[in-house]
Each structure stands twice: as structure tokens, then as C-alpha cells.
Amino acid sequence: MVLTLYNRLRSRTAAFVHDALMVPAAWLLAFWTRFNFESIPPPFLNSAWRALLLVLPLCVVVYWLFGLYRGVWRFASLPDLTRILKAALTATAATLAILFAFNRMAEIPRSVPVLFLLFQLVLLAGPRLLYRWAKDRRISFEDGQRVLIVGAGRAGEMLVRDMLRDPAHSYQPIAFVDDRPRHHGGSIHGVPIKGVLGDVPALVERLGIDLILLAVPSASATQMQQLVTCCEQTGKPFRTVPQLQHLMAGEVSINQLREVCIEDLLGRHPVRLDWDGIGAGLAGRCILVTGAGGSIGSELCRQLMAAGARRLILVDACELNLYRIELELLESHPPAVLARYLLDVTDAEALETLFRLESPQIVFHAAAYKHVPLLENQVRAAVRNNVLGTRVVANAAAQAGCERFVLISTDKAVNPANVMGATKRVAEQLCLELASRSATRFMLVRFGNVLGSAGSVVPLFKRQIARGGPVTVTDPDIERFFMTIPEACQLIMQAAVIGQGGEVFVLDMGEPVKIRFLAEQMIRLSGREPGTEIPIRYIGLRPGEKRFEELFYTNEDTLPTAHPKIRAARRTADARVPHNLAAAVDELIAAAGDEPRQRQALSALVPGWSAVAEQCSDQ
């Protein structure tokens, strides 16, 4: 603090001394200019020196009163120039008035005050602007990375401005490239626009570029693929600015550079939901999240706190995951708004106690096993967690009189071909049945693969690429719907707000993406070529795996919702659902330990599952 005060005083003292020296310089220059830069006649020179004894203290006082020493030269700008103009005008006018009253300006030419004003402006403002220019241009003995910027628009201009102001001098902007012809030949903050995107490889070599920055936040997935391909040809690292939707939402700033990620290349734009409506529906509420430490559950907790939840109850069976999310949330929220319970969702007694103590108004049930191949021969575990766990939590919510209950489901529950999908389908049936007879609003949310979630194919591909391959893809034609974790969580919250009970909500996720394409793009992002440097090996469909996923059953009527990117469905009569669902689920749970019997009970609840599963196993 003392050092900061010292530096501030030193800076103001230097500025004060500078301006004090500029006053006699401007005054004498005015006389010298009046006499055509020749010798000043002695009478006029003597008069100038005598008047200076009055002019100097007068100007210094005026400058001080106008706040010329409050600004920082490093950031001199238009307001500082305005203050200098006002101060110079006032000082000149006061000089005229006092000298005229003193001796009617004897032996002081009438042009001198005008010239004095002009020289004040030049000598006071000029060094300030020159100092800022020198700092912005980083005139320094330090060398940062030489940077080529792709995109000479607003984002590129802001990037260059931040680089030039960076006191650490980490980056040195060398040139722009831009495909818009009207920009060619120009410059931004002194940085020239050298060519188009196709010129990048040649410019990188000719200009000695160390880093390429992609300043095109509105680029589509196709455009981003072209940019990445061009940058990879150079062999140099490249970074991108955040996507436009994140900048507009105020979530990030333009100078938060990051690596290009697979989400940039998937061919769809993340959907932005109704945050005002979400906030209005969830703010001030007591909310419980099961599976709170998982990839979906933890992000859901973050966003619920951002939406203004009054109290958040974290439930998870994994000690480490629960500890991590609680620790993270406590860094930005007071302990009073959080509660955490280490318990299994199948523990009915513990859950009844929890609901009685906390009285949650809204429940998000995210706890589930979801790894398809792993669960194929783990029927007991899948049924226990996904079916029994859902029934216990849903019944506890209904008995406690919760307002809303949201089940996080999956597209694999539609015409399921695997144990995981079949158990999630039974969980859907349980919640839909409760919705028909409970005051609690039960609703479902289905979505496809979530990028970056636990068990996602993306982390697997990253590990395989890091090892040098091969990247394993089950089938060349297999395709999936993808969305990001934040999108998934926003969909869940949006459903909780707009749902009336009994709906199945699905986000419009665009077109499905072939897993082969995903693998190829991830390999290219690593700077290598798919098929040559990193091989792709097709290993065949795994047990329970389908080539194509579905989002709705044929007996579900699609309905519009308040949000154009969300579709909803209500179930019509389904003869395949057992008439006595509760008894059928009891039989499924009671068969634990007897796998053939449990599979048979699961088939009775989801009749289409066994036939599809047999078909998949024959392929």
C-alpha cells in the first residue's frame, strides 16, 4: 500500500513538473513564432520574461484546479484532452485579463495569447498521447509471442487493443487476415491486414508467427472446421475467442482465449433457454438434487445457485463427489444455503427423514447408472439404482407434498436395446404413473449424449489420441444426438418451470452426429491426421447398442411448449405397460440375485426390450 501511494505521488509530481516546464516553453515559443523564428527584439524579450513571472504560477494553479493530475498518462483519452483544452483556455483568458489590467499588455503582441493557447495544447496533450501510444505499442525490450489474428472485426480489434495494453507484453500482434475484401490493405491500431484465410500458412512462415488467434466468435461449425484445417497446416498452436452466445450472455470476456474444442465443430449451436423464466420459477425455492456430485448433477447445482435457489440440498452416494461439489459451492455461497447428505437413493428410511427435515419444494432426480456396456451384465445393480432408487425418491417426494419432481432420463429409454435403457424406461413409467394420481407434478427430461459427462465418448477418444491411437469406433454408421452439459442442465431447469405434470421434455438437438465424424474431428484438433497418423478402428456394435437413437415413442403425442426449442410429449394409452405397474416393479426388485428371473421381469415391464436386445446380439 505504501509503495502504491509512493508510485502515485511520484507519477503526479512528474506530471506537475512536466506541465510547469511546458508553460515557459509555450510562452517563449509564442513570442519566437510571432517574430518569424528570428531574434526577439530586446524590449519584447524583456517583457516576455517579466510577464512569465505572473503567467507561470497562474497557469499551474489553473491546471491543478482543472484536475490535470488526476488522470494517468498510461490511459490518456478524450476526457483528459477535454480537461487540457478547458484548462488552457481558462489559463490563457486569465493571463489576458490580468496582463491587460496590469499594463494594457504593453510590448506583448496581440497574436501571442493565441499562439500561447495553441502551444499549451500541443505541449500538454502531445507528450501524454505519445506516452500512451508508446505503451500501447509496447515499445520495450521484452519480446512476446508473435501473433497472427484471423478476423479483422470487432473481436479482433478488441484483442489487439488488449495485447497492446498488456503490461506483461505476452503477445505481439503482427498482422491480421480477413476474407472480407474491403478490409484488405488497412490496419487496426497500427497492425496491418495482410491477406485472406488461405494466406495463413505462407504468412506464418514469412512473418515468424508463434501463435494464431481466431477472433471469429460468430463462426459456424462449418466455418470453424475450415479455420482449424487451415491453422493445422501451419503446425503452430492456435486459440479461439469464446463463442458469441457466451460473450452476449456476459459469461466470458473477449480476451479469455481457449483451445478450439469439439463443441465448436459439431455443426449445431447451443440453445439458449429462457433464463428470466427459469430464475422466476426457481429463485427463492428449496431444491433437492440427487446425484449432486455427478457431471450432470454438479453442473445443475451450479446453475440452480446462479438462478437464486434459497436452499440447495445435495444428495450423493459417492463421498468424494459430494465433498467436491460442496467445497466448490461453499467458495461462493454461505453455508446456510447448502445441505449435503451422503446416502443411497434406495435407502427409503433415510430419504423420508431427509424430506421431513428439509421440506424441499422441487426435486431433480439425477442419480442413475448410465454406462451401457457395463450394465449389460449388471442387471441387479442397474435395477436397484435406476428403478428402485427412482421409486423411493419419487414416493418420498409425493408423500412429502413436493411441488415438482423432474426425472433426468435418456433417449436410450425409447425402444430400449440395453439394460440401462430398459431400467430408465421403467423409471419413466413409475414417474408418469405417479403424475396421474399425485398432487406433485412429475415430469421427465430426455436428452442424448452429453459432451464431457462421465462415460461420454469424448474423454475416451482423448485418451486414445494421447496414446497415439487407435481410436475405436463401434460402427461406421452409428450416430448420436449430442448436447453440452450446460444445455442439458438448462433444459432440466426449464422443464421444472414450464411443466404441468406428466410431460416428457426433449431439447431440439438438431441433427444426429456420426461418431466416426466426431472421432475424425477430435483427431484433427490434436494436430494429427485421422486414418494415417491416428488410425480409426471399427470394433462392431457392443451388446445392447443401437446404430440410431430415438427421442419419442410412436404413442407419444408431441406438443408445443413455451420455448420454441423444446418439444414435449404426453403418453397415450400403451397396452404394453402392465396394468398393475406397482406389482410388476415389486416382482422386478424381488428377483434380485436371480438374473434370468430379473431379466424376465424387466422384459415384462418393457416388452420391446428383449426382442430388440436379441436382434442387436445377432448383428
Strand, coil or helix: what is 561?
A: coil
Q: What's the CA gap between 586 and 430, in Å, rounded? A: 12
- Count CB neighbours of 174 within 10 A: 20
Q: Are 435 and 570 in contact (CB under 8 A)?
A: no
The domain over range 145-260 is classified in CATH as 3.40.50.720: yes
Known catalytic residues? Answer: 412
**Nearest C-alpha neighbor of 412 from the set 403, 424, 426:** 424
**What's the fold here for domain 275-618?**
Rossmann fold (3.40.50)
Pairing mode of beta strands 556-560, 536-538: unpaired
412: three-class secondary structure by DSSP: helix
φ/ψ (deg, to 5) at 92 = -65, -45
DSSP 534: B
Do residues 422 and 598 touch, judged by C-beta distance below 8 A? no
pLDDT tens per residue, range 335-366: 989 999 999 999 999 999 999 999 999 999 99
Q: Considering the entire predicted model, what is its pTM?
A: 0.63
Give me the amino acid identity at 529: E
Q: CA 521, CA 514: separation in Å to the nearest integer?
A: 11
Mean pLDDT by 10 residues, the chain (619 residues): 42 75 85 83 82 84 77 56 83 83 75 85 80 57 74 82 74 85 77 86 87 80 76 80 48 49 58 75 94 92 92 96 95 92 95 95 95 90 96 96 94 89 94 91 85 68 84 84 78 87 81 80 75 84 73 73 78 60 92 90 83 45
The yes-or-no answer to whether 145-260 and 275-618 have a common fold is yes
What pLDDT was estimated at residue 615? 44
pLDDT tens for 24-60 read: 888 888 888 888 888 888 888 888 888 888 888 888 8
End-to-end CA separation in angstroms for the chain? 73
- Name the percent of the chain in helix, strand, coil, to the closest 5: 50, 15, 35
Residue 286: per-residue pLDDT:
96
Q: What is the 3-state secondary structure (H, E, C) of 351-373?
A: HHHHHHHHCCCEEEECCCCCCHH
Domain boundaries, the chain: 2-136, 145-260, 275-618
CA atoms within 13 Å, Cβ hemisphere of 109? 20
CA distance 520 to 568: 34
Q: What is the pLDDT of residue 247?
A: 39
pLDDT of residue 447: 80
The alpha helices in 467-560, defined as continuous H runs, are 485-498, 515-525
Instruction: Judge whether 453 and 408 are in contact, CB under 8 Å.
Output: no
Which cell goes with 33? 513564432
With beta carbons less than 8 A apart as the criterion, state whether 462 and 423 touch. Answer: no
